[in-house]
Amino acid sequence: MRVYNFSAGPAVLPEAVLEQIRSDLPDWQGSGMSVMEVSHRSADFVAVAQLAESHLRRLMTIPDNYKVLFLQGGATGQFAATAMNLSAAGDTVDFVRTGAWGVKAAKQAAPFVNVNIAADGAATSADGKYNHVPAQDTWQTSDEAAYLHYTPNETIGGVEFSFIPDSKVPLVADMSSTILSRPLDVSRFGVIYAGAQKNIGPAGLTLVIVREDLLDRARDITPSVLNYRVMADSDSMSNTPPTFTWYVAGLVFEWLLDQGGLEAIGEVNERKKNKLYAYIDNEDFYSNPVAPDSRSWMNVPFVLAQPKLDGQFLEQSLAAGMTNLKGHRSVGGMRASIYNAMPEEGVDALISFMSEFARRHG
Ligand code: PMP
């Protein structure tokens, strides 16, 4: 039996995609092999790879002057890869930090660039925690930064930008946990990157969407597997790509198109998060610490008024068919990740469970 899986990542996949994988697995397209067993250079696999890219381009309306790369190394690999690809030694890079992933991104870039923390949400919050997006007119950007890096959605703290920053320098965004959640104006960005294991597919694939005029800034030291120019020129196949994950990502993109694209899924996502936050705000037993204008659509952290009941909450939610509601170890409490593949009924079931639990214990 399927459960409602609220994991932050690797996360729930659409059931229709899992069924398709199951039926494809032993004998993919009449080849007598699974897709995992064929060469990435075979015509059949190249067709799958290209179709996945064209689905993604359609979904996100990616302009023609952007390359889409299918890489490995995770979003974490991109923390350093962005620096190696987009800056020269001695360059300054602006970082806006609104949570744990932004902190890690700046740290991984630090060996390569002069890190300027243009804004830090923990420094401007009352309790020193990341719970809001600092207003852009308070940011201390440097005059000649190579680029500005930020994390549109912080998966752990559940802090999300409700706006795309204005920037004179290329905007570089770690969209791991918000990509594909709703329509996005890609043309505002220099680089968008995302680990696959939330809204894209299984772990193992890292998407990079890069504006073409930024392809030739890589330092000589950049390993070829992380080099945007090398990977763009080889259709992400300078070495063996993560073929199975790429194939599954293509199925997920197709599923999203079947749902009506990002406009349609965005409406569902908006309803899902609105009802969950509304319930949490109206029920004294639960609370969410994030400023209302900075709340994540995809990751909803909440705490119980009596933390000693956390164990019971988790035990009973599991018995009710809901998994992975435990908050990140650095934050505690609970977190419901409600990515694209979490059906609205899953959020309804969670709210019913929470209200029943509050009634019994509140
Ligand atoms: N950035 C964000 C916003 C994330 O949520 C995560 C993973 N949870 C990462 C980076 C790290 O991704 P990876 O494990 O793919 O390196």
**135-160 pLDDT per residue, tens:** 999 999 998 999 999 999 999 999 99
Task: Examine residue 2 and state whether it is found in any structural domain, yes or no.
Answer: no
Structural domain that includes position 53: 16-258
Reported confidence tier of residue 1, pLDDT bands at 50, 70, 90: confident
Distance of alpha carbon 127 from alpha carbon 13, whole angstroms: 36
Amino acid at 181: S
pLDDT above 70 as % of the chain: 100
For residue 135, give the 3-state DSSP assignment: coil
* pLDDT at residue 231, rounded to an integer: 98
Residue 274 has pLDDT above 90, yes or no: yes
Long-range contacts of 160-168 (CB under 8 A, 24+ apart): 160/133, 160/294, 160/295, 160/296, 160/297, 160/298, 161/98, 161/133, 161/294, 162/133, 162/293, 162/294, 163/136, 164/188, 164/189, 165/96, 165/136, 165/139, 166/136, 167/141
* pLDDT at residue 322, rounded to an integer: 98
The CATH number of whichever domain residue 287 belongs to comes to: 3.90.1150.10
Q: At what angle do helices 261-282 and 243-258 cross, to 10 degrees?
A: 80
Q: Determine if ligand 1 sits within 6 Å of the CB of residue 155.
A: yes
First to last CA, the chain: 31
Beta sheet of 299-304, edge-to-edge order: 286-287, 299-304, 334-337
Q: Determine if ligand 1 sits within 6 Å of the CB of residue 121.
A: no
* pLDDT at residue 362, rounded to an integer: 78
Distance of alpha carbon 110 from alpha carbon 98, whole angstroms: 17
Reported confidence tier of residue 330, pLDDT bands at 50, 70, 90: confident
Q: Locate the ligand 1 atom nearest the alpha carbon of residue 99 and give its number.
A: 3
Q: How many CB atoms lie within 10 A of CB 45?
A: 20
* pLDDT at residue 331, rounded to an integer: 84
Q: Determine if ligand 1 sits within 6 Å of the CB of residue 296.
A: no
Ligand 1: which residue has its CA nearest to atom 15? 74
Pocket test for ligand 1, best of 79, 149, 155, 245 (most atoms within 8 A of CB): 155
Which sequence positions are flagged as catalytic? Answer: 101, 174, 198
pLDDT above 90 as % of the chain: 98
Reported confidence tier of residue 260, pLDDT bands at 50, 70, 90: very high
Task: Examine residue 11 and state whether it is found in any structural domain, yes or no.
Answer: no
| Same-domain status, 74 and 217 | yes
| Same-domain status, 326 and 350 | yes
Going from the Cα of 273 to the center of ligand 1, the distance in angstroms, rounded, reads 21
Q: Locate the ligand 1 atom nearest the alpha carbon of residue 196 and give its number.
A: 15
Contact 248, 201 (CB under 8 A): yes
Domain end, chosen from 258, 286, 317, is at: 258
Q: Locate the ligand 1 atom nearest the alpha carbon of residue 151 and give its number.
A: 3
Going from the Cα of 192 to the center of ligand 1, the distance in angstroms, rounded, reads 13
Q: What is the mean pLDDT of residues 114-130?
A: 96
* pLDDT at residue 135, rounded to an integer: 97
Distance of alpha carbon 338 from alpha carbon 6, whole angstroms: 6
Q: What is the mean pLDDT of residues 295-313?
A: 97
Task: Examine residue 109 and state whether it is found in any structural domain, yes or no.
Answer: yes
Pocket test for ligand 1, best of 7, 70, 72, 76 (most atoms within 8 A of CB): 76
* pLDDT at residue 9, rounded to an integer: 97
Q: What is the mean pLDDT of residues 38-44?
A: 96
Residue 225 has pLDDT above 90, yes or no: yes
| Same-domain status, 307 and 197 | no
Distance of alpha carbon 240 from alpha carbon 269, whole angstroms: 35
Amino acid at 209: I
| Same-domain status, 219 and 264 | no
Distance of alpha carbon 184 from alpha carbon 189, whole angstroms: 10
Number of domains forming the structure of the chain: 2
Q: What is the mean pLDDT of residues 292-310?
A: 97
Distance of alpha carbon 138 from alpha carbon 141, whole angstroms: 9
Distance of CA 153 to the CA centre of its chain: 7
Task: Examine residue 5 and state whether it is found in any structural domain, yes or no.
Answer: no
Nearest to 292 by CA among 307, 268, 274, 270: 274
Going from the Cα of 175 to the center of ligand 1, the distance in angstroms, rounded, reads 9
pLDDT tens profile 157-201:
999 999 999 999 999 999 999 999 999 999 999 999 999 999 999
Domain end, chosen from 239, 258, 277, is at: 258
Domain end, chosen from 238, 258, 278, is at: 258
Residue 329 has pLDDT above 90, yes or no: no
| pLDDT, mean over the chain | 97
Q: What is the mean pLDDT of residues 249-266?
A: 98
| Same-domain status, 21 and 139 | yes
pLDDT tens profile 44-86:
999 999 999 999 999 999 999 999 999 999 999 999 999 999 9
